[in-house]
């Protein structure tokens, strides 16, 4: 047996594996900053209605000096959305609020609604990435990081007219249409209090929309059972790391991976709704990579049924 040849082959294989790993990591770091806009058309408005454009933003996880992300978000106003919906995890540092408000500044002139995620309340901290492979019911949450300026952020949004939907309902009149919104605080950290918003949708509304950060089934089920035809969520990062030709491995909640991002149908025995889950625009500062899952914002064009 030629042990030298075996050793050389093993060394060559290790070198190739190392090079491929390094290339994948370099690409994943690049992809995390390769922002894209998704577009979907959803026929949910009353017959005869003009189209309505909803800009859905989520999971910026903004850090200071992420100027490229700030500039990219600012440019979204050129899409001329009619409504802005943000589904949380806006910031990742105590110093992130000024750049966040700079990013959102043109959009704050538009009608908007928001809910929070955990990284609006607390700074992220290092987590073992392999724990995300566990079922959501078996994940144990460590003590959270330092507080973020969430009350200042809330005031900055509401002072400009955006509506706070954290366990709350509200109504917007946009382009002659009545839009009824109901939202929950973040289910991932069990701040959701659906009973505060429970009840069948008002038939007088032209469209009723449910909003939450993390698309846990207990919240989605109740939105569907109360008759909400459209639900918007974030949190999943689209899986963040996907396997080519297979897709995401995890959703970081109890939603199935087939609905980890994009527009899908979600239903129970009592009805169904259009569910849009945003893959979001950011990552934790402790895992600044994406693979086969570009950071995104979404323009939903609502049209007549």
The residue written with tokens 């625009």 in the block is 281
Query: What does the pLDDT read at residue 133?
Result: 54
Quote the CA–CA distance of 57 and 44 in Å, as a whole number: 20
The CATH number of 32-304 is: 3.60.21
Mean pLDDT along residues 92-115? 98
b/e code 107-116 from CB counts within 10 Å (16+ = b):
bbebbbbbbb
Confidence label for 64 from pLDDT (cuts 50, 70 and 90) = very high
Query: What does the pLDDT read at residue 5?
Result: 60
**Max alpha carbon distance in the chain (Å)?**
83
The pLDDT of residue 141 is above 70: no
3-state helix/strand/coil string of 36-59 = EEEEEEEEEECCCCCCEEEEEECC
Q: Residue 129 forms beta bridges with which residues?
A: none
Mean pLDDT along residues 265-287? 96
Question: Which phi and psi (to 5°) does residue 231 adopt?
Answer: -130, 135
Confidence label for 20 from pLDDT (cuts 50, 70 and 90) = low
3-state helix/strand/coil string of the chain = CCHHHHHHHHHHHHHHHHHHHHHHHHHHHHHCCCCEEEEEEEEEECCCCCCEEEEEECCCCECCCCHHHHHHHHHHHHHCCCEEEECCCCECCCCCHHHHHHHHCCHHHCCEEECCCHHHHECCCCCCHHHHHCCHHHCCCCCCCCECCHHHHHHHHHCCCCEECCCEEEEEEECCEEEEEEECCCHHHCCCCHHHCCCCCCCCCCEEEEECCCCCHHHHHHHHHCCCCEEEECCCHHHCEEECCCEECCCCCCCCHHHCCEEEEEEECCEEEEEEECCCCCCCCCCCCCECCCCEEEEEEEEEC
Mean pLDDT along residues 38-62? 98
The pLDDT of residue 9 is above 80: no
Query: What does the pLDDT read at residue 270?
Result: 92
Confidence label for 197 from pLDDT (cuts 50, 70 and 90) = very high
Quote the CA–CA distance of 240 and 233 in Å, as a whole number: 15
Q: Residue 274 forms beta bridges with which residues?
A: 230, 265
CA-to-CA dists, residue 212 to 55, 131, 251, angstroms: 15, 23, 15
Query: What does the pLDDT read at residue 282?
Result: 97
Q: Are β-strands 207-211 and 230-233 bridged in parallel, bridged antiparallel, or unpaired? A: parallel
* 220-239 tens-digit pLDDT: 999 999 999 999 999 999 99
The pLDDT of residue 244 is above 50: yes
Lowest mean pLDDT among 113-117, 144-148, 232-236, 269-273: 144-148
Mean pLDDT along residues 135-157? 80
Confidence label for 16 from pLDDT (cuts 50, 70 and 90) = very low
Mean pLDDT along residues 9-36? 70
Quote the CA–CA distance of 252 and 204 in Å, as a whole number: 36
**Direct distance between the N- and C-terminal alpha carbons of the chain, in angstroms, rounded to an integer:** 73
Quote the CA–CA distance of 77 and 217 in Å, as a whole number: 32
The pLDDT of residue 60 is above 80: yes
The pLDDT of residue 291 is above 80: yes
Q: Where are the domains of the chain?
A: 32-304
Query: What does the pLDDT read at residue 99?
Result: 98
The pLDDT of residue 135 is above 80: no
Confidence label for 26 from pLDDT (cuts 50, 70 and 90) = confident
The residue written with tokens 């190739």 in the block is 16
Mean pLDDT along residues 143-148? 84
> Whose CA is closest to 37, among 301, 295, 303, 302?
295
How many CA atoms does the CB half-sphere of 120 hold within 13 Å? 27
63 near 93, Cβ under 8 Å? yes
279 near 237, Cβ under 8 Å? yes
Q: What mean pLDDT value characterizes the chain?
A: 91
């Amino acid at each position: 047996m030629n042990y030298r040849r075996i050793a050389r082959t093993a060394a060559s294989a290790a070198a190739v594996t190392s090079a491929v790993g390094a290339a994948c990591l370099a690409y994943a770091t690049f992809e995390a900053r390769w922002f894209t806009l998704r577009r979907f058309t959803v026929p949910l408005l009353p017959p005869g209605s003009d189209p309505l454009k909803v800009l859905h933003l989520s999971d910026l996880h903004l850090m200071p000096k992420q100027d490229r992300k700030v500039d990219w978000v600012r440019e979204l106003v050129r899409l001329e959305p009619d409504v802005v919906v943000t589904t949380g995890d806006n910031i990742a540092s105590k110093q992130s609020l000024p750049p966040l408000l700079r990013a959102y500044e043109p959009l704050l002139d538009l009608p908007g609604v928001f809910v929070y995620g955990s990284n609006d309340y607390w700074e992220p901290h290092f987590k073992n990435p392999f724990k995300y492979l566990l079922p959501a019911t078996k994940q144990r949450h460590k003590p959270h990081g330092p507080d973020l300026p969430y009350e200042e952020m809330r005031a900055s949004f509401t002072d400009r007219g955006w509506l706070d939907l954290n366990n709350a309902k509200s109504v917007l009149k946009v382009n002659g249409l009545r839009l009824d919104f109901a939202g929950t605080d973040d289910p991932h950290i069990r701040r959701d209090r659906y009973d505060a918003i429970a009840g069948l949708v008002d038939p007088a509304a032209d469209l009723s929309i449910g909003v939450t950060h993390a698309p846990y089934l207990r919240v989605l089920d109740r939105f569907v059972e109360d008759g909400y035809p459209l639900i918007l969520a974030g949190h999943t990062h689209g899986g963040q790391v996907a396997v080519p030709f297979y897709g995401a491995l995890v959703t970081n909640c109890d939603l199935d991976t087939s609905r980890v991002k994009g527009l899908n149908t979600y239903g129970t025995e009592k009805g169904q709704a259009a569910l849009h889950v945003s893959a979001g625009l950011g990552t934790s500062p402790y895992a600044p990579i994406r693979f086969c899952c570009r950071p995104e914002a979404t323009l939903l064009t609502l049209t007549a049924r």
